Structure 1
Amino acid sequence: MSFKAFIHVQHLLGTGHVVRAASIGKALAARGVEVTLASGNRIPPTLDTGPLAIVELPACKSPDAAFKRLVTLDNEVIDATWKSARVKASIQAFEAKDFDLLLTETYPFGRRQLDFELTPLLESARARARPPHISTSIRDILVRKKELWKEAWMADQALKYYDRILIHSDPDFIQLADSFPFADRVAPLVRYTGYVGGGARPAVEGSDGEDEVIISCGGGAVAEGLLSAALDARPLSRRAEDTPWRVLIGHDVSPDAFAIYQRSAGEGVIVQRARGDFPELLKRARLSVSQAGYNTVLDILIAGVPAVFVPFAQANETEQSQRAQALASHGRAIVVPEAGLTPERLAAAIDDALALPRSHHRVMLGGAEKSADILLEDLEARKG
């Protein structure tokens, strides 16, 4: 029997959510599943979706890191008419085939602003004569809510509609209870898959990375404080003032700003654009200095390199801070708050981190493939 899967994903600022969803979709397709990926935002042209059937829902995004509002890609505030069209498009796409699996990315453990769409979709799925297996796919850390009732609502939604919760982390480092106070309520639904990502990357040519301090910032759009402090911190470090520092700046930073960073670099500091061989550079490096996004932390865990984390923590963001603290609790990193960051504080943290040992722990990887295997086991069990 050939199964059919429907994956719903909404990325709002970055593209990590849709990258993970597509990875799981391709892993399912490689196992013979017919997969439809319904995306609520424009899929990046660089993302290989392979054999997936793509449904482009009416697109929206968040205008800023507060994630309080949804707007169209033209920055128009969405209204009731837009919402109605979005709900209709989602349900029509789902009802186009007799899907055996409905997988929502993040929801209900986030994306509550899309509840107007996703609860009707879940209701439509549950109302079928033969309801699909319903699963959710979430990353390692959830964003904590100030109001506890919102987190209780997440657990209620999961227990009401869902059959499986896939968590893309290594439970030796991060577990659901680290960022979700009702983890015990949903524990029977939970399976850990390992991290999604960490695949083959280009090799490093020459000696780049050897015994270096590598400073990185992802796309770089929200890393001005880290970059500015790093450029002035090298002469203030007692342990790393004699080694090259390589600052990698993402393409969200404008060419003019990038040129300013290059001109500001002191002796022994190399400023470059972000590199595709970044994970391999880390394996050679003495230390990593970065924010604490999912993909960057995964690369650091695989490399086993000591780290300094300056977590992105603007607005109500808590995810990166919690991820960084989880690794710090395992003796893998030193954490420096973004607020009040100075070259002196960063240099002191770098000195502390250089006293940490390298790790030889084998990080649990293959999250997309493991997710596909778990979902197929569930589908086979349901069929049986």
Structure 2
Amino acid sequence: MPRAFIHVQHLLGTGHVVRAAAIGKALAGEGVEVTLASGNSIPPTLDVSGLEIVELPPVKSPDAAFTRLVTPDGTEIDDTWRAGRRAATLSAFSRNSSDLLLTETYPFGRRQFAFEVAPLLEAAKNRPNPPLIATSIRDILVRKTEIEKEAWMADQALAHYDRILVHSDPDFVQLSDSFPFAGRVAPLVRYTGYVGGGPRPEPPGTDGEDEVIVSCGGGAVAHDLLSAALDARTLSRRADETVWRILVGHDVSEEAFAIFKRSAGEGIIVERARRDFPGLLQRARLSISQAGYNTVLDILIAGVPAVFVPFAQEQETEQTQRAEALAAHGRAVVAPEAGLSAERLAAAVDDALALPRSHHSVMLGGARKSAEILLDDIGVRTA
């Protein structure tokens, strides 16, 4: 029976481990024994049944700057911690032979973990029967201010990797949209479609019908968006008579949530984020959101016109690039986070409502397609 070892590190949000687990489960469904080594605590809501879970010493980023790494109790990591983490990873990998080593994001990000992943790659390559080595990356990479760092990514991929899985629909977003050395690594790249988009509960009653749906993911970095949305409804020329439903993420405190609810005027519903969010979008007139991977996927599937207010603090470029790529396809209007006001948001809403609803079929099934590609690669290598 083939064996796979997946290494994943999420630092602030949970999208990375969600995608890694989805690929792991798709591989397991094809008869592969999968070990998922996670460098942070796995969310209790994430289904990892059928996978062997290795909980590495956990680490996270305390904020969106991603310049510091801390343990769950807030202690900044040091060389002693790094040595222990490296030993734990290599020990987990050495327990079994592997036909596949999959690193999530690295080397196209997570360079802070080279102390751990570089030895892991060397251990894999030095085995008598080296595994296929692949990396799994989302649709958009975070641009670096120093192009030398991006050249390093390409160098590492060419030196150590057999396959690069890009989890996007190339009709909307291609690796070259966010990576200047995409041409160098092109022979290794395969597009899988988006990972996610599975079935969700249907909204009750008429919830969502002809509404403006405002969402913010977990909401930890969405205060400005939520505040502007509360005041934008009465300023819109095209959406001032429809219901605006504002979904507040569960990372927003109860105190802040209560303030948002008290601030809601007529025609505005404020409630916590819902599992039936994709169903609300299917019925909605318009979506207003940030531009995270999972939210954008739900919007693409629904085909609903959108306003994106991409998170762009601390030199973050990922969401802005994703939003601009969709805007270039006539799918959305972008309202920059810097200087956001109710007036600017209302103007963006009016512009977005002039866009047609899309009926383009989005390339999905990224986890299943990833498993197929990797198993084909293993077959080619072992034939």
Q: State the TM-score, normalizing by the size of structure 2.
A: 0.99
Q: Distance in 1 between matches of 2:368 and 2:325?
A: 25
1:349-380 deviation digits (Å, cap 9, x = unpaired): 00000000000000000000000000000011
Q: Distance in 2 between matches of 1:69 and 1:248?
A: 30
Q: Give 2:158's aligned amino acid.
A: L
1:193 counterpart = 2:192: yes
Shift of 1:46: 1.1
Structure 1 runs (4+) greater than 6 angstroms displaced: none
Q: Which residue of 2 aligns with 1:176?
A: 175
CA RMSD of aligned residues (A): 0.5
Q: Which residue of 1 aligns with 2:302?
A: 303
Q: Distance in 2 between matches of 1:178 and 1:245?
A: 33
Q: Distance in 1 between matches of 2:266 and 2:197?
A: 33
1:363 counterpart = 2:356: no
Q: Which residue of 2 aligns with 1:157?
A: 156
Q: Which residue of 2 aligns with 1:292?
A: 291
Q: Which residue of 2 aligns with 1:80?
A: 79
Q: Give 1:292's aligned amino acid.
A: A
Q: Which residue of 1 aligns with 2:323?
A: 324
- Output aligned runs, 1:87-236, within 5 Å: 87-236=86-235
Shift of 1:296: 0.3
Q: Distance in 2 between matches of 1:67 and 1:161?
A: 25
Q: Give 1:206's aligned amino acid.
A: G
Q: Distance in 1 between matches of 2:43 and 2:240?
A: 40
Shift of 1:316: 1.7
Shift of 1:258: 0.6
Q: Which residue of 2 aligns with 1:5?
A: 4
Q: Give 1:6's aligned amino acid.
A: F
Q: Distance in 1 between matches of 2:268 and 2:206?
A: 15
1:54-111 deviation digits (Å, cap 9, x = unpaired): 1111111111101111111111111111111111111111111011100000000000
Secondary structure at 2:346 match in 1: helix
Secondary structure at 1:191 match in 2: strand
Secondary structure at 1:141 match in 2: coil
Q: Give 1:123's aligned amino acid.
A: E
Q: Give 1:209's aligned amino acid.
A: G
1:302-337 deviation digits (Å, cap 9, x = unpaired): 000000000000102100000000000000000011
Q: Structure 2 unaligned runs (5+)?
A: none
Secondary structure at 1:125 match in 2: helix
Q: Give 1:321's aligned amino acid.
A: T
Q: Distance in 2 between matches of 1:227 and 1:81?
A: 42
Q: Give 2:23's aligned amino acid.
A: I
Secondary structure at 1:315 match in 2: helix
1:258-311 deviation digits (Å, cap 9, x = unpaired): 111011011111111111110010010000000000000000000000000000
1:219-261 deviation digits (Å, cap 9, x = unpaired): 1110000000000001100000011110000111111111110
Q: State the TM-score, normalizing by the size of structure 1.
A: 0.99
1:139-185 deviation digits (Å, cap 9, x = unpaired): 00000000000000000000000000000000000000000000000
Q: Distance in 1 between matches of 2:70 and 2:357?
A: 44
Q: Which residue of 2 aligns with 1:54?
A: 53
Q: Which residue of 2 aligns with 1:37?
A: 36
Q: Give 2:215's aligned amino acid.
A: S
Q: Distance in 1 between matches of 2:181 and 2:379?
A: 29
Q: Distance in 2 between matches of 1:210 and 1:48?
A: 31
Q: Distance in 1 between matches of 2:205 and 2:127?
A: 59
Q: Which residue of 1 aligns with 2:278?
A: 279
Q: Give 2:133's aligned amino acid.
A: I
Identity %: 75
Q: Give 1:36's aligned amino acid.
A: T
Shift of 1:51: 0.7
Q: Distance in 1 between matches of 2:332 and 2:264?
A: 25
Q: Distance in 2 between matches of 1:55 and 1:279?
A: 32
Q: Distance in 2 between matches of 1:58 and 1:206?
A: 45
Q: Which residue of 2 aligns with 1:344?
A: 343
Q: Give 1:37's aligned amino acid.
A: L
Shift of 1:383: 0.8
Q: Give 2:246's aligned amino acid.
A: V
Q: Give 2:325's aligned amino acid.
A: A
